[in-house]
């Protein structure tokens, strides 16, 4: 029997989000078997995996609850380009327009 860690499950789930779809930090945490506060650790886990060489993590497909997108000046242009390429539309406040339709629940 192979046992995987919570962190390895988080990375595997993040890598499985298909183009044109998004999910939340909470959905990843729950699908990986985490409890109520586990969503807070997802960003840290994915950042460490990226630093360790996993460069294919689709960070732009992981958003806050309700479809709110995190952006800062460093990543804004790149993320907007990726969203446009994948057909993901944002409103003027940086929220995904059709969030419920493109949400990926890991079911």
Dump pLDDT digits (tens) for 31-53.
999 987 899 999 999 999 999 99
Name the pTM for this structure: 0.91
Is 21 inside a domain boundary? yes
Please report the pLDDT score of residue 1 as a whole number. 44
Query: Which residues form the domain of 79?
Result: 6-98
Cα 45-48-52 angle, rounded to 5 deg: 135
Q: What CATH number corresponds to the domain at position 87?
A: 1.10.10.10
User: Helices 39-51 and 6-15 meet at what angle, rounded to 10?
Assistant: 80
Is 103 inside a domain boundary? no
Is 107 inside a domain boundary? no
Domains in the chain, number: 1
Identify the helix (H) or strand (E) that includes residue 105: none
**Can you tell me the mean pLDDT for 93-101?**
94
Phi and psi torsions of 98, nearest 5°: -110, 45
Are 94 and 11 in contact by the 8 Å Cβ rule? The answer is: no
Is 104 inside a domain boundary? no
């Amino acid at each position: 029997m192979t046992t995987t860690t919570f962190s390895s499950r988080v990375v595997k789930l993040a890598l499985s989000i298909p183009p044109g779809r998004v999910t939340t930090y909470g959905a990843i945490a729950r699908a990986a078997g985490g409890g109520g506060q586990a969503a807070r650790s997802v960003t840290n886990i994915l950042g460490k995996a990226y630093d360790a060489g996993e460069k294919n993590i689709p960070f732009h497909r992981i958003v806050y609850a309700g479809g709110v997108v995190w952006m800062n000046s460093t990543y804004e242009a790149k993320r907007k380009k990726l969203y446009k390429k994948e057909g993901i539309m944002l409103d003027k406040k940086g929220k995904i327009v059709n969030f419920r339709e493109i949400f990926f629940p890991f079911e």
